Structure 1
Amino acid sequence: MQVDFFTDATDFLAVAGDYLAADPVRLSVLATNAERGAMLPPEPVDWPRWYAVVRDGASIVGVAMRTHPAGEHSVWLGGQPQAAVSALVAALLARGETALAANGELPAVQQFADAMASAIGAVAVQDVPTRLWELTTVKWPQQPAGSLREATTDDVDRLLPLLAGFMAQAAEQAARPLHPGETFVATAQEVREQLQVGRRYLLWEVDGQIVHLTGINVPAFGSARIGPVLTPKPFRGKGYAAWVVATAGQQILDAGLRACLYTDVTNPVSNGVYARIGFEALADSAEYSLVTTP
């Protein structure tokens, strides 16, 4: 097994593009991130930021990235053979790099967390079990009161507090603690730049007030991932999320793309909503923390 690291998203895409295109839904997190990194090159950082390709001979058998700006800068892994995971861990250790957080598809991410934990004398703890869903046919729910519109750069100041509170409200609804990697808050400039390159936010308003927000990531390799999905606590239970997510999914399908999203498995509300409007479970994933022992 050979592992190659790339600090430039464009270089990574030139090598891994065909591999990403072959499974654009399961690899949507990495594909979207790399596409965004190619369009909006990020500022320099003082931690190891990279994309990685694992090869078995001439064939790519796995991909990973470390680009998360918060917490322990978790490593994200796509589904791949255990031998590829072992090669990635060995390559990181060989260059003097460790990781205290990981995210991605099971069982690869658990294998990575366990192997890294064993190497550094830590314990791998699963923080959040997640699930990838795909939509092929919308089952329309009842339309709630209000109206839909799409956010523009003029809405950035209204979007910021909603986006800043998303992870905390999602964790509260799932009755779990907020983890360090979930504390990242985008700046006004970052939100504005994302809108300018195709990031979308569908807003549901009642009497001029935003009562729901659904994001749609920039399409990558024929797939578009929905998220975040946020209904502030005072406005929940009125059907806003079901209608706007169904609308977002239909827009993606109408554009000839595959529609997908992730849920927190421990949140019965969101899982139930998406299943009712036509999403089908595709793959399980998880977030892990590595806890060092005394």
Structure 2
Amino acid sequence: MYSDARAFADAARPVYVADPARHTAALTALRGIERGSAASVAALVYRAGRPYGAIVGNGPFPVTLSGLPVDAAPAVARALADAGAVLDCVRGPRPETEAFAEAWSAETGADVAASPSRWLYELGTLTEPEGVPGEARLATAEDLPLLQRWRQAFADELAAMAHGETLSSNSTAWSLDDGDRYGMWWIRGTPVAMALARRPESGMSRISYVYTPEEHRGHGYASALTAVLCRWVRDAGTPHVVLFADVGNPVSNRIYQRMGFQRRMEDIELRFVPAHTRTLER
């Protein structure tokens, strides 16, 4: 377990860059702690003197388990429990996440509760929607107030499905400063949709915050904008483009598949209810 974020990032990065699409969330967490976010968990598993697996969490976000092999879950859960770690939520591929949650529950007595899961998609051959009116452009500092409102609206909708996030008032500006790029779709001088292409990391960029206000939905604006962002990212030399889509949203899944996105894995999120909390609730 590491308390030095830089030392952990240097040691863990080879685990994650071996498959940057699979480890997209972990690489985002790694970037966060490098930029000063508090690491909730930063641990490596070594085998034969070399990094074999990694587990990372930053700030209030779920701890990411995409780099933790299933057979290492019991040892890692035991070590974290012995160290007094407090885990509220973990996420990652279903086999790895369920294995760790089972081990953590056995060590701590915590109950496990599931949130809606997501598919991780990776872009193959891009097919852009045709006939959508309007045009895309990159957002600038002048667009920050609107982007922040739309990001919060997006997060509020996710929170209603049990896996939202808390946004600080300057999170959008921080995102732009860090190298993320927001696209906006415009119709006759009016912005009607946004999407974010995250700062490339190890040849990978993730599309996030694909959002259209309710009054502008149903016209394909967000789909067209997402496709344009994917093209821009690819043209800039980033080969791996990924995104998450809720398993329970058949419309968005069909749209992404028509655009050329292919399923990589199911990403699940599991929350822990400590044993002492259950006792108090009873």
Q: 1:108 Cα deviation (Å)?
A: 0.7
1:89 aligns with 2:89: no
Q: Deviations over 1:207-262 (max 9, x none)?
A: 33321111111111111111021112221110112211111111222222211111
Match of 1:30 in 2: 26
Q: 1:291 Cα deviation (Å)?
A: 3.1
Q: Structure 2 vs 1, CA of residues 276 and 6 (structure 1 numbering), >3 Å: closer, same or farther? A: farther
Which of 1, 5, 20 is the aligned partner of 2:2?
5
List aligned pairs for 1:236-247, cutoff 5 A: 236-247=217-228
Which of 26, 47, 60 is the aligned partner of 1:56?
47
Q: How many residues align?
A: 275
Which of 216, 219, 222 is the aligned partner of 1:235?
216
Q: Structure 2 vs 1, CA of residues 275 and 68 (structure 1 numbering), >3 Å: closer, same or farther? A: farther
Q: 1:57 Cα deviation (Å)?
A: 2.2
User: How far apart are the structure 2 equivalents of 1:222 and 1:116?
Assistant: 33
CA contact (8 A) 1:123 1:291 kept: yes
CA contact (8 A) 2:33 2:58 kept: no
User: How far apart are the structure 2 equivalents of 1:60 and 1:244?
Assistant: 39
User: How far apart are the structure 2 equivalents of 1:14 and 1:195?
Assistant: 24
Amino acid at match of 2:54: V
Match of 1:196 in 2: 177
Q: 1:112 Cα deviation (Å)?
A: 1.5
Which of 31, 41, 46 is the aligned partner of 2:36?
41
Q: Structure 2 vs 1, CA of residues 183 and 220 (structure 1 numbering), >3 Å: closer, same or farther? A: closer
Q: 1:78 Cα deviation (Å)?
A: 0.9
**Structure 1: runs of 5 or more not aligned:** 172-176
TM-score normalized with structure 1 length: 0.86
CA contact (8 A) 1:79 1:106 kept: no
**Structure 2: runs of 5 or more not aligned:** none
User: How far apart are the structure 1 equivalents of 2:131 and 2:9?
Assistant: 40
Q: 1:114 Cα deviation (Å)?
A: 2.1
CA contact (8 A) 1:102 1:289 kept: yes
User: How far apart are the structure 2 equivalents of 1:271 and 1:141?
Assistant: 15
List aligned pairs for 1:7-22, cutoff 5 A: 7-8=4-5, 10-22=6-18
Match of 1:185 in 2: 167
Q: Structure 2 vs 1, CA of residues 216 and 134 (structure 1 numbering), >3 Å: closer, same or farther? A: same
CA contact (8 A) 1:249 1:259 kept: yes
Match of 1:207 in 2: 188
Q: Secondary structure at the match of 1:23?
A: coil
